[in-house]
């Protein structure tokens, strides 16, 4: 369970966790001038924008040089499932800063820096929180420590952070944002020491290509529709459903868009109206464009009804 924290803090420190005995490898040159930050977030519910804790740790020349952590008021509900994972409850975040309050701090640490996260979840959560509050996106060069670990230690059954921490001898408290960020940073350091591959080598081709939306079927009740989705990637399950019914999925709302569909698993909750995409769709409607705003449930029901022969 997470220990309730009352303040955010920044401090300098050096940690030298023990490591397993790998084959000797001269990695000093790979660690010299090494400079990156690591971020981890915890969320209050299934909406990835509901950040309730964030931890950031900076590394330079193979050592930890700073740490920042704070609880965050997500202005959202706390789901029992999430609370059961990280132990953060609504009373822990009462009076704590919102994401908007600390956006500038986060951007100051991550902006234009090599930023590590253990999977792409944290990157997506920060992006969703920025969209929700209409904040500028955080421009960072991202590196996934899961991908690094899989290549460095392919013999492991899985590459979860707690498993890697035990294997590498890293002190770690799972699902605490600061501890998770620190552990992911040491995973990168250990991978560089173990393989001799420097940070730039790991960064090369580290960003997965952006998947294309599925091609629309030749026929179907959505043939001729150009559909943009709020709250799901353009290659997800809802996109596949739309394309299978003849609709063309597009990535943004424009003059030719005919439908905005709000995904059931979308990250905005009851604050749909604050999202930039939703506001753009409303602007197009006000300009007289024939654009329909509809929920995923309504769309599926409408499409299925139209598919039933009279």
Residue 291 gets the label, from left (phi > 0), alpha (psi -120 to 50) or beta, of beta
**Tokens coding 48:** 């990835």
Domain boundaries, the chain: 9-203, 226-307
Where does 226-307 sit in CATH, by number? 3.40.50.10190
Residue 60 burial (CB count, 10 A): 14
- Note the pLDDT of residue 230: 83
User: Which residue from 65, 47, 49 is spatially nearest to 57, judged by alpha carbons?
Assistant: 65
pLDDT tens for each residue of 46-98: 888 999 999 999 999 889 999 999 999 999 999 999 999 999 999 999 999 99
Cβ pair 221, 300 in contact under 8 A:
no
- Note the pLDDT of residue 170: 93
Provide the CA 242 distance to its chain's centre, in angstroms. Answer: 25
Give percent of the chain above pLDDT 90: 54
- Note the pLDDT of residue 278: 85
Instruction: Please state which of the ranges 15-24, 116-125, 224-233, 277-286 shows the lowest mean pLDDT.
Output: 15-24
Q: Helix, strand, coil % (nearest 5) of the chain?
A: 35, 20, 45
H or E element, residue 141: strand 141-144
Mean pLDDT within 94-111:
96
pLDDT of 110 above 50: yes
pLDDT of 293 above 80: yes
- Note the pLDDT of residue 214: 86
pLDDT of 161 above 70: yes
Domain 9-203 classified CATH 3.90.1150.10?
no
Mean pLDDT within 30-34:
73
């Amino acid at each position: 369970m997470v220990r309730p924290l009352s303040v955010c803090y920044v401090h300098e420190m050096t940690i030298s966790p023990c490591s397993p005995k790998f084959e000797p490898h001269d990695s000093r040159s790979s660690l010299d001038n090494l400079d990156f930050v690591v971020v981890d977030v915890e969320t209050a519910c299934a909406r990835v924008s509901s950040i309730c804790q964030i931890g950031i740790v900076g590394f330079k020349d193979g050592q930890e040089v700073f740490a920042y952590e704070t609880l965050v008021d997500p202005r959202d509900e706390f789901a029992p499932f999430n609370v059961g994972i990280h132990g953060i409850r609504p009373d822990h975040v009462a009076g704590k800063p919102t994401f908007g309050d600390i956006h500038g701090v986060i951007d100051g640490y991550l902006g234009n820096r090599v930023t590590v996260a253990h999977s792409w979840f944290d990157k997506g959560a920060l992006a969703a929180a920025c969209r929700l509050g209409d904040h500028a996106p955080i421009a960072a060069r991202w590196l996934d420590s899961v991908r690094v670990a899989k290549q460095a230690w392919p013999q492991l059954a899985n590459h979860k952070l707690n498993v890697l921490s035990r294997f590498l001898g890293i002190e770690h408290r799972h699902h605490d944002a600061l501890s998770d960020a620190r552990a992911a940073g040491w995973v990168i350091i250990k991978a560089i020491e173990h393989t001799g591959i420097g940070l730039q080598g790991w960064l090369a081709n580290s960003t997965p290509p952006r998947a294309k939306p599925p091609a629309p079927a030749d026929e179907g009740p959505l043939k001729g529709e150009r559909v943009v989705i709020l709250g799901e990637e353009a290659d997800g399950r809802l996109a596949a459903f739309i394309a299978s019914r003849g609709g063309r999925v597009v990535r943004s709302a424009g003059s030719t868009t005919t439908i905005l569909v709000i995904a059931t698993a979308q990250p905005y909750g009851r604050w749909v109206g604050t999202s930039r995409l939703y506001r753009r769709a409303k602007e197009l409607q006000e300009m007289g464009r024939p654009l329909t705003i509809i929920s995923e449930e309504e769309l599926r029901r409408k499409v299925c009804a139209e598919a039933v022969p009279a």
